[in-house]
Structure 1
Amino acid sequence: MVKDPKGSQGLRDIVQTRLLNDVLKNSCDKWPGWMVLVVDPPGLRVLSSAVGMYDLMERRVTLVEDLTKKRAPFRDMGAIYLLTPTKQSIDRLLRDWTPSENRKEPLYGNAVFLYFLGRLPDNLLAMIKTCKPLLKRVKALGEVNVDFLTKEDRAFHFDMKKSFRYLFPHRNTGQPTPVEMVICDKLVTLCATLNEYPHIRYRSSSPLCTSLANVFHRKMSEFIGGNQKWWYHGDANHTSRGRSTLLLVDRSDDCLSPLMHEFTYQAMVNDLLPIEEDRITYKSETIGNGGGEESKSMDKDVLLNEKDQIWVELRGKHIADVIQVLSNRIREMVNSSTSQVAKSKGNDTKALSLSQMASALKALPEYREVMDKLTQHMHLSHQCMDLFNKKGLLDLGEVEQTLATGKTDEGRVPKMNELVDMVEEQLQSAQDSQIR
């Protein structure tokens, strides 16, 4: 978690500012025409997590292209590349500018701007220098240090979903694994973005944490040595607050969490509903107006991200508290709005029929916008609870918590044969998705 990076700015805002200024504005200042933004898959995910299409259009980017796919030529446009510093991406970059039998001319115009998510190794820089058609068009080359995804304003991840199995191999060489090197490279870009040079704390009995601490310390020192103008909180010229602390922990420091379902709103949405990249689709019922119009069902997309203030506020709360909060707010909204409508018509609330109230409330724009959001979340939270009851997660949760704490919900310490019976019963009745 990131605690108040750079004062009141969230991590997503910092990354967005970095991309808009150091990549897009810097390119616009050097080229007056329209441009194509070319990204590899990791670059696209980093870009999408912080910058919207409107931001790109404002800075004369008309098209976002995938480096790994076949693309049409735009020889009257400049090209901005946002890439990971890997040999695969550099090979594809050079292919755009190297004549071949099928294509005699380069894909893009006479202005090329090269930006990399992390440090560009010397051997890859040397590869770029060998391509003369590209080299003579390069107007800028930089390392933007944003090789991570801004999941929330105070949370990030490295987009390495399959890394766990590579972190705990049998250690017989004493050398860091390739995955550890990648993690530390990404962590350096995060610290560079936040202007942090952290103290490192870790459990010395953990070989993994020890290795990561040593590799990160070395790479961070190399970064500072190669970037003399870079500053960090706590240095001689920035003393408003001291250096931060990086805590390195492994799963042995928290063995119980994987054993238990979490019943907060965010955890249940991700556990039970078909959410992908913060987007979820659900069936919305449109109620008829009573004049012959029938109720309709339609698919509705919802984005659960930092722009949804209700989601930001409620995602960490227990699901039961979420439903209670939403119910209270909807009731307050209806009462407040119907009172306003009644006053405008010279009546009291009791004098209006239900159909009059509904029609009048739909005519209030501020009602529609807020109520839509509230009802969206009420629908999602009720979906979570329906699946919670259908899958028997209450009983399963009680077993998990008893195993984790050694006590029942009544505070009693169960006997071993009771625990065995409880587990056997769940194994016989639970679906595969429920068993941890």
Structure 2
Amino acid sequence: MVLVSAVRDYVNRMLQDISGMKVLILDSQTVSIVSVVYSQSELLQKEVFLVELVDSISKSKEPMSHLKAVYFLRPTSENIQYMRRQLARPRFGEYHFFSSNMLKDTQLHILADSDEHEVVQQVQEFYADFVANDPFHFSLNISGNHMYMLPAAIDPSGLQHFCDRIVDGIAALFLALKRRPIIRYQRTSDIAKRVAQETAKLMYQQESGLFDFRRTEISPLLLIIDRRDDPVTPLLNQWTYQAMVHELIGIQDNKVDLRTIGKISKDQQEVVLSSEQDTFFKSNMYENFGDIGMNIKRMVDEFQQVAKSNQQIQTIEDMAKFVDNYPEYRKMHGNVSKHVTLVTEMSKIVEERKLMLVSQTEQELACNGGQGAAFEAVTNLLNNESVSDIDRLRLVMLYALRYEKESPVQLMQLFNKLASRSPKYKPGVLISELGIFMGTETFLNIARNMARGLKGVENVYTQHQPLLYQTMESIIKGRLRDVDYPFIGNHFQQGRPQDVIIFIVGGTTYEESRSVALQNATNSGIRFILGGSALLNSKRFLKNLEEAQRIARTSTSVV
């Protein structure tokens, strides 16, 4: 059940069976799906000499009959229309069409009718409709991720589109794994229930034949939950390597854009952080920031030893050996440079924004008690000139989630203080945003999930554990209550599942991905996969919240 391998296998099959020079044509979503599992050099090895987006290739009229076109697209109406227009005036010698998900009969008819020049060699469904960020962590990269926060009445068609994309992604995952799951969902979430019901309808009714893999072992469990059940995790600063890079700089499809951080060499302006392609990152992606610094120093020392030995070229044999080892030497040089740059930049951000001070208070808010001390600590940080606007906002949000019922007067004082220090955050808007996010849930219910003080934790900056950790523990111990997480239909789990896919409507974090990886490493007998509608850091999470509040406010004013 390794996601990266599943998607790589599809891409391999797409490219290796078509001989000769190829152009790979993708859409805005499949380009992410391919790029996280396949490098440019690997594509070249498969004789892919051009990679284009389907909307840009349609604007060009230059004939390229010497190339074979390999299309890998989501089966959307828009993409089918792109194909129809391109087949009307073929530019390439051959056309091979691979859909990332199930094609409708009507779409197949459109493609068949459009192929008047008989250039289409094959049409296949390859179920890679998800971004495999890590072996046990995937995302759907849904742009309208804020939709899950809105009541259905505000934008019914938008919400339906959001749900459809999630169901498509989950269906493709299980088709790729050749399994059909038992489905459970979070009872307190309407959106989780809706996604669960529509997924079950697709797998057990509409496309039951496609999902009938006739296996006798225990079915995997698909558990669909709501991001709103744990709003704390995406609000916290992170102190483990992968999560910290995403929080402070940003990771998009396993790539980090470094162009904004000042003078940097051209080959380091965008770097890849992939556990499949970078052994140092694979070994250190879940390590604490302090340990990363020491490990990078060791890597630098090792590289200096290699560089020193390479300088001592005295014979033809030495030179030949260096040339043979040069690609590995160059890769090592690039890796050292990449990780040193990342850690240097993050250290600078930590110092400028006083994040160690901020994070200590965040962790206290998330894990421990003491409303009075918390109020004083947050007030002091709001007054600190070095604390950034977004850090002030997150502190007030965390305080609100924890103490909204206990100290409403002090909370309003913090709202007003935040507005005076960071004028763009108005108290009324903040209250409205929190209301939109929480829906009918009270802050008190959420506080119960937050007040899980951990004993014996040495690092004050990593005390917090996501609610997901508790959920996995409950599944392992067979204590996930039916009343809280009902089954869909008459399909119940017979025995303990060996494979569990947890999907978070509203998005996942790298902190949660780390929890899954560490849990899988314990050999509990259950393998977990984590997926979500988007990959969050605090900036993305707050932007989703702001967008939902804006739409809700606009909708109310229209009414």
- Tell me the TM-score range normalised by the shorter chain: 0.7 to 0.9
Verify: 1:279 aligned to 2:256, yes or no.
yes
Note if contact 1:12-1:153 (Cα within 8 Å) is conserved in structure 2: yes
Structure 2 stretches lacking a partner, 5+ long: 311-324, 395-559
Structure 2 counterpart of 1:121: 104
Give the TM-score taking structure 1 as reference length.
Answer: 0.74
Note if contact 2:144-2:162 (Cα within 8 Å) is conserved in structure 1: no
Structure 2 counterpart of 1:106: 90
Displacement after TM superposition at 1:399 (Å):
1.9
Structure 2 counterpart of 1:12: 4
Note if contact 2:192-2:226 (Cα within 8 Å) is conserved in structure 1: yes
Q: How does 1:149-168 map to 2 (within 5 A)?
A: 149-163=131-145, 165-168=146-149
Verify: 1:73 aligned to 2:60, yes or no.
no
Verify: 1:269 aligned to 2:245, yes or no.
yes
Verify: 1:395 aligned to 2:352, yes or no.
no
Change (3 A) 1:404 1:167: same
**Which amino acid counterpart does residue 361 of structure 2 have in structure 1?**
V
1:218-271 CA deviation, whole Å, 9 max, x = no partner?
12225753437x637xx13xx4xx322122111233232133211111222222
Structure 2 counterpart of 1:373: 335
Verify: 1:320 aligned to 2:271, yes or no.
no
Give me the whole-angstrom Cα distance separating, in 2, the residues matched to 1:76 and 1:333. 44
Task: Indicate the SS of the match to 2:162.
Answer: helix
Give the TM-score taking structure 2 as reference length.
Answer: 0.59
Note if contact 1:148-1:190 (Cα within 8 Å) is conserved in structure 2: yes
Structure 1 counterpart of 2:388: 431
Structure 1 counterpart of 2:233: 257
Note if contact 2:249-2:256 (Cα within 8 Å) is conserved in structure 1: no
Structure 2 counterpart of 1:290: none
Q: Which one of 126, 146, 157 corresponds to residue 128 of structure 2?
A: 146
**Which amino acid counterpart does residue 16 of structure 1 have in structure 2?**
R
Structure 1 counterpart of 2:460: none
- Which range is displaced more, 372-381 or 199-208? 372-381
Give me the whole-angstrom Cα distance separating, in 1, the residues matched to 2:184 and 2:92. 48
Give me the whole-angstrom Cα distance separating, in 2, the residues matched to 1:369 and 1:52. 14
Note if contact 2:21-2:68 (Cα within 8 Å) is conserved in structure 1: yes
Note if contact 1:282-1:300 (Cα within 8 Å) is conserved in structure 2: no
Give me the whole-angstrom Cα distance separating, in 1, the residues matched to 2:90 and 2:71. 14
Structure 1 counterpart of 2:480: none
Task: Indicate the SS of the match to 1:146.
Answer: coil
Give me the whole-angstrom Cα distance separating, in 1, the residues matched to 2:299 and 2:190. 51
1:319-369 CA deviation, whole Å, 9 max, x = no partner?
01211333355557778998x99xxxxxxxxxxxxxxxxxxxxxx978886
Aligned-residue CA RMSD (Å): 3.6
Note if contact 1:15-1:146 (Cα within 8 Å) is conserved in structure 2: yes
Structure 1 counterpart of 2:113: 130
Verify: 1:90 aligned to 2:65, yes or no.
no
Structure 1 counterpart of 2:36: 49
Task: Indicate the SS of the match to 1:133.
Answer: coil
**Which amino acid counterpart does residue 24 of structure 1 have in structure 2?**
L
Give me the whole-angstrom Cα distance separating, in 2, the residues matched to 1:11 and 1:388. 33
The structure that is helix-richer by fraction is 2
Displacement after TM superposition at 1:300 (Å):
4.7
Structure 1 counterpart of 2:505: none
Percent of residue pairs identical: 22
Give me the whole-angstrom Cα distance separating, in 2, the residues matched to 1:59 and 1:377. 29
Structure 1 counterpart of 2:186: 203
Structure 2 counterpart of 1:361: none
Displacement after TM superposition at 1:15 (Å):
0.9
Displacement after TM superposition at 1:375 (Å):
5.6
Structure 1 stretches lacking a partner, 5+ long: 99-104, 285-295, 342-363, 408-412
Q: Which has the higher contact order (CA 8 A, sep 6+)?
A: 2
1:83-123 CA deviation, whole Å, 9 max, x = no partner?
1111111111111122xxxxxx53223x3222111111223
The structure with more radius of gyration? 1
